[in-house]
Amino acid sequence: MLILIVASLLSGSDAQQKAATIAEGTASPETSSRPMSVTTAPARLVNGGPVFFRVTTSVPLRSLKGMWLGHKVAFDHGKGKAWFLLAAVSLETKPGPVPLTLEGTTDSGSTLEYRRNIFISGAKYPVVKLTVSKQFTEPNPQQQATIKQDQEIKHKMFSETSPEREWSGRFVPPVDAPVSDVFGTRRVFNGVTKSVHQGLDYRVPPATPVNAINSGTVILAQPLYFEGNCVTIDHGQGLLSLYLHLSELRVKVGEKVERNQQIGFSGATGRATGPHLHIAVRWQGVYLDPAVLLSLQLPAD
């Protein structure tokens, strides 16, 4: 089922994308007429999906920055004249062409500028109806105070992410288990639409070991009202992974972790209808589909 859903999210018209893709560039006299070339993975982008940009430049650069969907972005230098960035397309992004603008600085101080319109397709996401305890849909004043405190904790955490890249290579699943609910599902609790599912749910029994999907630094490891026992890992460049409803935590704030390192055990804490693992991935305030991220081939250097 997961394969079919992801495949539908990545579907689109080659003709539409080709027609909507426009590349423009300007360069100083020392450069070629085409200062940069850009490729994306996946090749077809959808709202709610990750995007990996790989940029090849006509001359060596000492820095490359740009703008993508209103976000300031800084690219990481790969080998030779290659630069790359892991970013996302928000769920709210409308289908159609959107601009990527780039500005590179050469070793001599000259500037390369580049603009390309990249086509975004619209994805279709499912709807599910759930019944949960009223304490999670109609919290009392004391519970509302707890929720407010949690919001302040999360706001502080989200505003203090590291600009330096810590992830390396492919992202891997946190558990070896089937997916029970996909990203983007509109969730109706007790007859009222309360949220859009911003991650993946894995069907695992209690006390299943949960591992980090890539290397990074733990910036949160504590219980929260809705999330239950929660771990958040900062992978750098605004990219975070969140692990919810854990029964036990095995890491502390400030701890460096490696890909596949155990960080806790699955459970049913917080707003959960039963034992499972919920994982979310967030980039600069935008939640993205972890399933697509886990399918991408990414550089290890």
- pLDDT of 131: 66
The CA distance from 224 to 149, in Å, is 9
Q: Beta strand pairing status for 50-57 and 82-88?
A: antiparallel
Q: Are 211 and 171 in contact (CB under 8 A)?
A: no
* Cα within 13 Å of Cα(284), Cβ side: 17
- pLDDT of 188: 75
Which residue, 298, 283, 295, 290, is CA-closest to 72?
283
- pLDDT of 191: 67
- pLDDT of 142: 87
Q: Are 52 and 40 in contact (CB under 8 A)?
A: yes
Q: What is the DSSP letter of 122?
A: P
The CA distance from 215 to 259, in Å, is 5
Give the amino acid at 239. Answer: L
Which residue, 41, 195, 43, 226, is CA-closest to 125?
195
Domains 2-121 and 127-293 equal at CATH topology level: no
Both structure tokens of 130: 């759930």
Q: Are 146 and 225 in contact (CB under 8 A)?
A: yes
The percent of the chain in helix, strand and coil, each rounded to the nearest 5, is 15, 45, 45
The tens place of each residue's pLDDT in the chain, 301 residues long, gives 333 333 333 334 444 443 333 344 433 333 345 789 999 999 999 999 999 999 999 999 999 999 999 999 999 999 999 999 999 999 999 999 999 999 999 999 999 999 999 999 999 888 877 666 666 667 788 888 888 888 898 888 888 788 899 999 999 999 999 999 899 988 776 666 667 889 999 999 999 999 999 999 999 999 999 999 999 999 999 999 999 999 999 999 999 999 999 999 999 999 888 999 999 999 999 999 999 999 999 998 7
Task: Please report which helix (H) or strand (E) contains residue 192, including its range.
Answer: strand 192-196
Task: Please report which helix (H) or strand (E) contains residue 146, including its range.
Answer: helix 141-158
Q: Is 102 helix (H, G, I), strand (E, B) or coil?
A: strand
The CA distance from 200 to 217, in Å, is 21
Both structure tokens of 234: 């900062």
Assigned architecture for domain 127-293: Distorted Sandwich (2.70)
Query: How does DSSP assign 6-18, residue by residue?
Result: HHHHT---HHHHH
Q: Are 237 and 86 in contact (CB under 8 A)?
A: yes
Which CATH number is 2-121's, of 2.60.40.10, 3.30.710.10, 2.40.50.140, 3.40.50.11310? 2.60.40.10
- Residue ranges of the domains in the chain? 2-121, 127-293
